[in-house]
Structure 1
């Protein structure tokens, strides 16, 4: 299967995509994770990406498209998380998959209230060393600023700080929300409300794609 997960920043796409990948064997492609890995490695792409990400802005379509296209072929299926983010990217994805005779099987939109999204994003933190995620409200490290697992520094990423969060929401509304309209025009979008517990959202997501997991 080839599945696209749509939704605003903080909707829980990454969390649910990882669970779905583990239960189905599909290749989880997260543009956010891929770009952060490039930033951590100090690659040429990472240096370019950091300037955009720190301001909560999207990278140029051509850069993201080239990165994603290298990973689309997988016998077990592909789960796209954070891509496409623009209509240009959506059109390019369609062209790539049609050329390979591997069309998208399901598009799922994860919907969350805007106030809840801002609250979620502003509470997120991560260990700089081992990348363990934390929530400063509900799942903070035992010692402030210190990772429970490796003792590394726990930080709030620049793109999760309040000013960047607000800009990310603006960028989403301007550029990414039209992607939903693009797919809805084809009549193949499944809508789920992603405000429940992770388990309940996963159950709803599994039903939406027909995995039965």
Structure 2
């Protein structure tokens, strides 16, 4: 049985970095970022990648079927029984589609959804800082796209939080501290659930 942890957070909340560091500490955890999976598909130059790029480059949400196919494939082929995926769900539709899928899935259990909570100001400063870092080249790191991505993140957030709270699956962690503090809190929580 695969235990699935979903990590959500605003653009710039640090959710991908947090998940990468936790996975690096444990051989038993596989980390996937929906963003990285989608960017890898874009980089491959495939037809699906071109379709994804037409959405991502404008800061828009990628169609549900493409994202679900990507996620389901990743979970099934994960080399470990604990899978951490960050950046999903980003919409009510993504949440309900994944929930419907998991209801009929004997091999995968959604263990928890972890929200990395940051202020819009903190998220904005981090994204602009990332854009200025020459080692990380991302075309989606500019002010206009950031504000669009932030709006898309915030709009469904209260409904997503309510949905997972009612299922007793939501854990909120402050993303305002140091990376070490955030990773430590998230890691302790994940270990307590496996």
Q: 1:112 aligns with which of 111, 114, 118?
A: 118
TM-score (norm 2): 0.87
Structure number having the greater helix percentage: 2
RMSD of aligned alpha carbons: 2.0
TM-score (norm 1): 0.80
1:48-87 equivalences in 2 (<5 Å): 48-73=51-76, 74=78, 75-87=80-92
Unaligned 5+ runs, structure 2: none
Residue 187 of structure 1 pairs with residue 142 of structure 2: no
Which sits farther off after the overlay, 30-39 or 75-84?
Answer: 75-84
Higher relative contact order, chain-length normalized (CA < 8 Å, sep 6+):
2
Change (3 A) 1:114 1:123: same
SS of residue paired to 1:70: helix
Q: Which has the larger radius of gyration?
A: 1
Residues 177 and 168 (structure 1), Cα distance of their counterparts in 2 relative to 1, 3 Å cut: farther
Total equivalences in the alignment:
187
Runs of 4+ in 1 over 6 A off after TM superposition: none
Could you tell me which residue of structure 2 aligns to residue 130 of structure 1? none
State the Cα distance separating 1:176 from its structure 2 match: 4.7
Structure 1: where are the runs of 5+ without partners?
Answer: 126-135, 148-153
